[in-house]
Chains A and B, each alone.
Chain A
């Protein structure tokens, strides 16, 4: 439904020119909860503002339902935004805020009033209809902002880090609430966040961005299990990285060897999640390495085992805590660990901004 084709954005000119977005291309499907995830400065907010129309692209096109909307002003795009600061109109009541979009479109009052009531009911705020928006709590303002953006039935709802101003507990509730709203309305959501947990729990698909480029687009599960490059692996979840040398499909790492057909000859980086590291020598088809336990850190549900390999590289393993009895490991112990070949991935460096 939304095709982003070679979209780019540069700010400034001459020597001060900065490319915030490098020719990005992908498509978003009808009814999808799509997340743009990345650290600050990765270009995710720039991309959102381009879709909303607050800024114009330096190149490329934005095709919504077969029509290029790249040059259209924001008030003509069937796209609405929930702002990070909510941007509620402070001189209006909750009801007036929600009615704004319909009034601006010149709809008749007989149509506006029921639509506003319906929307406020959906976000459970009907009882606050005549309250000034400045008198609401953060969570309530958040829901007014949602109702205001949804009332005109946009084709796409854009959400610019809408949960970042809320405290932890409220944020978790709003995550569930947002997902419910999206299911109930069947709308396409494009959600911007730097919080990987938020992205993993809510999204149908995630685009991981860095340096103004899309590093990978995939489902949360796929991103976690099969990160496309080192940046994605490091950004989503926790990862260990090991550098090794590959010759004919066999990788040599810290005194151990393992056959990995993916590896191309030369220097390679291997990645493994801490929960996949086995703290014993008896795992089949695994890379076995000698290690010293540098530190044990108790985390409640599990224990993080910090290991030092024979070549000085560091590795973290995560072991679930059993109900009875502690770990039979002590700091300073020398053990053999196994890295199963199924859990080891050869990762490329990310695409670096040119």
Chain B
């Protein structure tokens, strides 16, 4: 070859800039995790290493309740939103072009664009009225709200996967005596699985992380991990918060890593 192709890694200073960015991104989290092993009670005052705050957190009933709520909420919301997202993705890629397809695409992705606080305020009005009328104050409202904003996060990877799939595979299945349902079960679904999995994981993490909508909609005494942490931060700032935050961080990292591994293996 007469001309070497442009390669950004060959530019001078690339390594330095990249390392600086990584450090800036991850140093706060590293400090957080570091201080979660602090023996002292007061934040930012190092008094030796200890795991006692992890022990304290695991015996804190309020934290455990919040964690359980978060898990139930994230699991339910991401399962339902992944289901809807899969159906929506199939409908927008596996049908002939229809009127309003573009509009559907925009509407589906709208929760990504609308400021979360606006959605929260809109929901709090409706939910408040329903709570008054029905007297129901359970997790249902949070599940419904989380499902709503999780759909686009699940939809995007699933749709991307469907668009990359060779359409002639489904034609071939139909040619080989497979009914539509059999084709879906034996061909479309297995090939789509990595997309569905990463959609599900993404929705799960987004739900697990949500603070604003959860804080607006929760009933009294109801807490998710983020709302619990927010409350604790306002009242008593101890190293236990660092331990809890570290656990939350670990969960997110595990999920993202799991999704990455699952998607990679299937290809």
Partner of B191, one of A73, A75, A90, A104: A90
Contacts of B177 in A (CB 8 A): 75-76, 101, 104-105, 152
Contacts of A87 in B (CB 8 A): 166, 168-169, 171-172
Interface presence of A100 (CB below 8 A): yes
Stretch at the interface among B117-125, B144-152, B179-187: B179-187
Interface presence of B190 (CB below 8 A): yes
Contacts of B178 in A (CB 8 A): 75, 100, 104
Contact with B along A50-86 (1 / 0, CB 8 A): 0011100000000000000000011110011101010
Contact with B along A258-296 (1 / 0, CB 8 A): 000000000000000000000000000000000000000
Interface presence of B8 (CB below 8 A): no
Interface size on B, residues (CB 8 A): 18
Contacts of A54 in B (CB 8 A): 171, 174-175
Contacts of A91 in B (CB 8 A): 190-191, 266
Inter-chain CA distance A101–B175, complex, in Å, is 9
How many A-B Cβ pairs are below 8 Å? Answer: 61
State whether A75 touches B168 (Cβ < 8 A). Answer: no
Interface presence of B173 (CB below 8 A): yes
State whether A85 touches B168 (Cβ < 8 A). Answer: yes
- Find the B residue at minimum CB distance from A102: B177
Inter-chain CA distance A332–B58, complex, in Å, is 102
State whether A83 touches B173 (Cβ < 8 A). Answer: no
**Does more than half of chain A's interface fall in helix, strand or loop, or is it mixed?**
mixed
Inter-chain CA distance A236–B174, complex, in Å, is 35
Interface presence of B176 (CB below 8 A): yes
Partner of B174, one of A75, A105, A152: A75
Interface presence of A230 (CB below 8 A): no
Interface presence of A205 (CB below 8 A): no
Interface presence of A148 (CB below 8 A): yes
Inter-chain CA distance A76–B174, complex, in Å, is 9
Contact with B along A104-125 (1 / 0, CB 8 A): 1100000000000000000000
Given A75-B177, A104-B176, A104-B182, A85 and B166 touching (CB < 8 A)? yes
Q: Which of A158-203 contact B (CB under 8 A)?
A: none
Inter-chain CA distance A74–B171, complex, in Å, is 9
Contacts of A89 in B (CB 8 A): 169, 172-173, 186-187
Contacts of B186 in A (CB 8 A): 89, 100, 103-104
- Find the B residue at minimum CB distance from A96: B186
Inter-chain CA distance A91–B175, complex, in Å, is 18
Contacts of B168 in A (CB 8 A): 83, 85, 87
Inter-chain CA distance A52–B174, complex, in Å, is 10
Q: List 7 A-B contacts (CB under 8 A).
A: A74-B171, A74-B174, A75-B174, A75-B179, A89-B169, A90-B191, A148-B176
